[in-house]
Structure 1
């Protein structure tokens, strides 16, 4: 009898666990090696404030939010509808919020992860924690383990090693030099979905931690309604993340503090106010809250009433890579076959955040990690079982 085919998955985040599920469903003995003491640490952290699994919107609109057309066939097989059904199949009911974002009813990531791990156990997936990949050996892949160095020689390997943000949770990009040594082309990392630095004056300290709501963000020809948070380090939050790629590439940012009024309407309201009224009182009568008024005085003290429809924001650059929610950069698409197999390393596949793609928050990141893990796992299984 021929020995049972064996596959190795390196990395136990959403992409790696999905690859393992597909390999095991195909009847392949599957081992998952994870460097950390527990699995899916970034997944659990991201779900603490509410696990946004996907976005409930037409598929074409959904895939248009990604900068990599190579993801289109991958997302066609596992997009928003499939993610929702997958969650239900794990016994996790989901709901769609007013913004179109989809969440488990339980909101947290841990119930979904527990149910998923139980399924993987039933499929006889073996998960080895504290097994840190340390590069290639002559015959396979070398791991540093609690029992010392070990070398595994699987029939196929799926790498799901993450990007280079949130290093404390395991995404440290340590794998980059090992793949480059093997001839794999990798684009340099850039922060994505990140905040931006602002050099605040001392008077803004009173507003640190407060949200800025009811504004429009003006970036080039784009106009995005959204909100963000003022912090001691700058500005961050969903509204900023939605335009972070353009800002990273050099676009300027301005705020429309009265997005529901035209410039003429603002001018007419100001004209009706008493000439002796203070600027603070005028801003209040226009409907600006204390935080918005503080931003006006911070950035336009010389002409506070003239820039309410386009208040320039003096950005001092993006926050560091390790503070970013996600990254751009990684394994280049021309280094991969359509099956996500590394051209320089036949039998080795890659998926998840380690690939060179970028998308906004709001369920897009997690869906693509699951979808690419599924795709890589299925293709790796096919390579083994048809060999």
Structure 2
């Protein structure tokens, strides 16, 4: 094992492991404060998951009121709140615009760069980091510590890298082909909770034939409710089940129920803009000789998969009243989740009780954690990226505070 060369500078040296948004943002903060920063990543290039997110429009954050925004983090709200208040959505928007990427808020309140893509933002960001002296080393897989020194496997063999502090930002356990494989959890077995899919698809208790016949169909603007929570949006039928942001918003509660009870009964409102009375009036206005399918299609513009779901959930000769009531509260049993690696994000990771208020591991002084490595989850809509940036901001400032307190103690 050989030690990587070090600079003669007396500035603190920081090793950041993971070159996603959290790692790069922490590198920017720390290098701007005079630290010598090296960023390591196992992949051949950086920001791969960020670039993938930008393919459908890079949703940076959300413009809703901060108090409402914070509630999106569920059980982790009080844990993440100090970090998000210290670096809130407006700060992220301003940071993006200082990189030459103006932003806008969509009709849903989601905030995007006007370019929509992640690549212009990432290019400008990497230029800034280079100007600040940040060194990025790819194809470096973190394999653990030699005492307190980080160790990496590289194309040139195994090396150790001296660092006065280390910040881990290696992501969760989904989309391993983009770099987040979650294998780092084996290095911190006492500090981590098991991974579970979040913002994922679910498998309804319907036949394979139904999924094949309706694959790619979209249930447009349906209402969803489960466990007192509600959401609304489009659901896409796939051969693996159902996907869509409205479903992702309820994924934590649905996942927990399936793990506990082996199923979760989701309630669909196929026409949330109409009352049950309005639905009934429209059905009764149709000719009696019309088939049920034609009544539903003409009166309510229900597509084929919606009509079939309604038929399966009602008696064979359902009355208009039964159809109206079921259409507004259609039960759909979910019996499983999509694979962990296919989830947009993951729950689990470094537990709250394993880090202090500075996001430093209590078991490893001088080692900090940020981003999706931490055990929090949030729905899509800008909350995921905001959480990564805000916890990186908190951890970077935690590093600076710890370095200052350590040097003061030595002095």
TM-score by length of structure 2 reads 0.89
Asked if the contact 1:22/1:377 (under 8 Å) is kept, the reply is yes
CA–CA distance in 2 between the matches of 1:301 and 1:103? 46
* Residue equivalent to 2:138: 129
Matched, 1:3 2:41: no
Asked if the contact 1:55/1:80 (under 8 Å) is kept, the reply is yes
**Per-residue displacement from partner, 1:358-385 (whole Å, max 9, x unpaired)?**
1110000001101111211122123234
Going from structure 1 to structure 2, the CA distance change for 1:341 and 1:274 (only over 3 Å counts) comes to: same
Give the SS at the match of 2:328: coil
Q: Which ranges in structure 1 are unaligned for 5 or more consecutive residues?
A: none
* Residue equivalent to 1:29: 36
CA–CA distance in 2 between the matches of 1:206 and 1:188? 36
CA–CA distance in 1 between the matches of 2:337 and 2:58? 25
Instruction: Using the TM superposition, give the Cα deviation of residue 261 of structure 1 relative to its aligned residue in structure 2, in angstroms.
Output: 2.2
CA–CA distance in 2 between the matches of 1:140 and 1:205? 53
* Residue equivalent to 1:150: 159
CA–CA distance in 1 between the matches of 2:313 and 2:71? 35
CA–CA distance in 1 between the matches of 2:274 and 2:84? 39
CA–CA distance in 1 between the matches of 2:296 and 2:168? 55
Greater shift, 49-58 or 263-272, is seen at 263-272
Instruction: Using the TM superposition, give the Cα deviation of residue 93 of structure 1 relative to its aligned residue in structure 2, in angstroms.
Output: 0.7
Q: How does 1:185-334 map to 2 (within 5 A)?
A: 185-198=191-204, 199-250=206-257, 251-290=264-303, 291-300=305-314, 302=316, 303=318, 305=323, 307-334=326-353
Instruction: Using the TM superposition, give the Cα deviation of residue 300 of structure 1 relative to its aligned residue in structure 2, in angstroms.
Output: 4.2
* Structure (1 or 2) with the greater helix fraction: 2
Give the SS at the match of 1:38: coil
Q: How does 1:67-82 map to 2 (within 5 A)?
A: 67=74, 68=76, 69-82=78-91
**Per-residue displacement from partner, 1:217-265 (whole Å, max 9, x unpaired)?**
1213333221111111110011111111121122420211122222233
CA–CA distance in 2 between the matches of 1:221 and 1:63? 18
Asked if the contact 1:204/1:294 (under 8 Å) is kept, the reply is no
**Per-residue displacement from partner, 1:251-285 (whole Å, max 9, x unpaired)?**
42021112222223322333333322101111012
CA–CA distance in 1 between the matches of 2:225 and 2:82? 33
* Residue equivalent to 1:51: 58
Going from structure 1 to structure 2, the CA distance change for 1:236 and 1:45 (only over 3 Å counts) comes to: same
Asked if the contact 1:328/1:356 (under 8 Å) is kept, the reply is yes
* Residue equivalent to 1:168: 177
Instruction: Using the TM superposition, give the Cα deviation of residue 328 of structure 1 relative to its aligned residue in structure 2, in angstroms.
Output: 1.0
Asked if the contact 1:24/1:30 (under 8 Å) is kept, the reply is yes
Give the aligned CA root-mean-square deviation in angstroms. 1.7
CA–CA distance in 2 between the matches of 1:168 and 1:88? 30
Matched, 1:117 2:126: yes
CA–CA distance in 1 between the matches of 2:346 and 2:118? 21
CA–CA distance in 1 between the matches of 2:271 and 2:298? 12
Aligned length: 384
Asked if the contact 1:28/1:381 (under 8 Å) is kept, the reply is no
**Per-residue displacement from partner, 1:95-135 (whole Å, max 9, x unpaired)?**
10000000011000111011100000000000000000011
* Residue equivalent to 2:371: 352
CA–CA distance in 2 between the matches of 1:341 and 1:201? 47
CA–CA distance in 1 between the matches of 2:308 and 2:175? 32
TM-score by length of structure 1 reads 0.95
Going from structure 1 to structure 2, the CA distance change for 1:208 and 1:298 (only over 3 Å counts) comes to: farther
